[in-house]
Amino acid sequence: EPEVTQTPSHQVTQMGQEVILRCVPISNHLYFYWYRQILGQKVEFLVSFYNNEISEKSEIFDDQFSVERPDGSNFTLKIRSTKLEDSAMYFCASSERQGNTNEKLFFGSGTQLSVL
Amino acid sequence: AQSVTQLGSHVSVSEGALVLLRCNYSSSVPPYLFWYVQYPNQGLQLLLKYTSAATLVKGINGFEAEFKKSETSFHLTKPSAHMSDAAEYFCAVSGVGYQKVTFGTGTKLQVIP
């Protein structure tokens, strides 16, 4: 089965530093997503991306966050100035289409971000 | 607005016993409902989904779930637990499409030999 690939698997950074989390969605997919899971809490939606623009974002996704599809294969999440509370597992996901009852959302294995 | 509530953050069953993981949903529109599984150090994997077709949904690895509108429930079951079923299970809900999926807090399933 095709996979969504995320790198790195673990990222440690100092508070205030910028981090970029990288994802390679499945090649024929058109819709891309970031979710995060703070330890012991729910998996939370951050943002969805289609046709090179954000299609929906949550209240968590403030000005410190940005997403980009720089080269047609990678899908990145940037946090400009990390805070302690940004420590979480970040999941990338992709789907081929949206609104189709047979559609399936594929998740990557996650990047564990630790902000010190 | 949509949400799901998973009853029980930890569930333990004996190998061969029935698995029952509970999920109740709240949705202002007809929901799509999902169960995902997360094995240690792995991503989220879709087990099954309900999208307004048959109310009894069969998924992978012998799991199934029944959509009960009157009870606003979507409980996950498996007749006989296997050691490999030990994982964390997440119930989730969305509206039409997959734009935004809202997850529950998860239930960790332990299978005792």
What are the pLDDT tens digits along chain B (113 aa)? 788 999 999 999 999 999 999 999 998 777 889 999 988 877 788 899 887 778 899 999 999 999 999 999 999 999 999 999 999 999 998 866 556 788 999 999 999 99
For A38, other C-beta atoms within 10 Å of its C-beta total 13
CB contact under 8 A, B52 and A101: yes
The predicted structure's pLDDT at residue B96: 60
| Burial classification of residue A76, based on how many CB atoms lie within 10 Å of its CB (0-12 exposed, 13-18 middle, 19 or more buried) | middle
Q: Which residues contact B18 (CB under 8 A, 6 or more apart)?
A: B77, B78, B79, B80, B81
The predicted structure's pLDDT at residue B98: 52
CA distance A102 to A89: 27
The predicted structure's pLDDT at residue B99: 61
Asked if A26 contacts A106 with a C-beta cutoff of 8 angstroms, the reply is yes
CB contact under 8 A, A48 and B99: yes
A91 bridge partner residues: A35
The predicted structure's pLDDT at residue A109: 85
Mean pLDDT by groups of 10 residues along chain A of 116 residues:
86 96 92 90 90 91 94 92 95 77 75 94
- φ/ψ (deg, to 5) at B65: -145, 150
Give the residue from A114, A43, A109 showing the smallest Cα distance to A85: A114
Q: Shortest CB distance from A41 goes to which of B44, B97, B105? A: B105
Contact list in B for residue A103 (CB cut-off 8 A) is 97-98
